Amino acid sequence: MIEGKLNRRYARAVFELAAGREEAIGAEVDGFLGVYEDPDLRRVLGNPAFEQDRRRDIVVELAARLGLSDLTTNFLSLLVTRDRLDGLPSIARHFHRLLDDLRGRVNARVIVSRPLGEGQRESLVAVVGEMSGKTAILTEEVDPAIIGGLIVEVGGTVYDGSVRTQLQSLRQSIERTY
C-alpha cells in the first residue's frame, strides 16, 4: 500500500474518533509534533534497537506531560506499536485538510515579488474564496525572482501569473518561430 494512502487512513480514523472535538485533537497532535521534531527524540522513537514497549512508554509519558487527551495518547501509542510514528507529520497534514473541509476552509499559498498591501490581500482572499466556494486562508511568500505578478496554489492547483513565467513563454515562442 502506498505510504501516503496509509497516512490518510490513519488521519481519517482519528478524525472520525475526534467527532465534535476535531480542533482540540488537531492542536494536540500539533503540540506533540513540536516535541517530536527534536532529532534525538526521533532517533530514539524510530530506533528498533529500543524495545517497542519502552518507546511506547516514552510517548505516553510525553503525552501526559503535554496534557494530551486519551484519544491522542492512544493514537500516538498505536503509531509506535505499528512503527508508523515517522508518518505523523503527513498524518497531521491530512488531518488538518479534513478539518478544513469540515469547517469550509481552503488553504491558499501565494508567491509575490513584494509584500501584498492589505487591499490586495483582501481582494485575493475574496477571489480564492469565490473560486473554491470556501473561506480562504492565505499564506504569503515573497520571492523577488518572479519579477512581478503572482503565483497562487490552491488545493494542488497552481495558477501562475508571474512575469517570469510570461517572459519564459514568450522566449519559447520566439525560439520556436526562429
Nearest 5°: phi and psi at 54?
-65, -40
**Exposure of 3 by Cβ count < 10 A (0-12 exposed, 13-18 middle, 19+ buried)?**
exposed
- For the chain, what is the mean pLDDT? 93
Angle between helices 3-17 and 22-36 (to 10 degrees): 130
Q: Summarize pLDDT for 124-173 with one digit per residue, the tens.
A: 999 999 999 999 999 999 999 999 999 999 988 999 989 999 889 889 98
Where does the chain hold its CATH 1.10.520.20 domain(s)? Answer: 3-100
The 10s digit of each residue's pLDDT in 47-65 is 888 999 999 999 999 999 9
* Phi and psi, residue 139, nearest 5°: -115, 125
Among 35, 104, 101, 110, smallest CA distance to 66 is for: 35
Per CATH, the number for 3-100 is 1.10.520.20
Q: How far apart are CA 76 and CA 73, in angstroms?
A: 5
CATH of 105-177, one of 3.40.30, 3.30.70, 3.40.1000, 3.40.50: 3.40.30
- Cβ neighbours, 10 Å, residue 15: 21
Quickly list H helices, the chain.
3-17, 22-36, 39-45, 52-66, 70-81, 88-103, 118-132, 163-177
Using 50, 70 and 90 to split pLDDT, how confident is the model at 3?
low
- As a whole number of angstroms, the distance between CA 23 and CA 20 comes to 8
Q: In this model, does residue 67 exceed pLDDT 70?
A: yes
pLDDT band at 4 (very low <50, low <70, confident <90, very high): confident
User: What is the model's pTM?
Assistant: 0.77
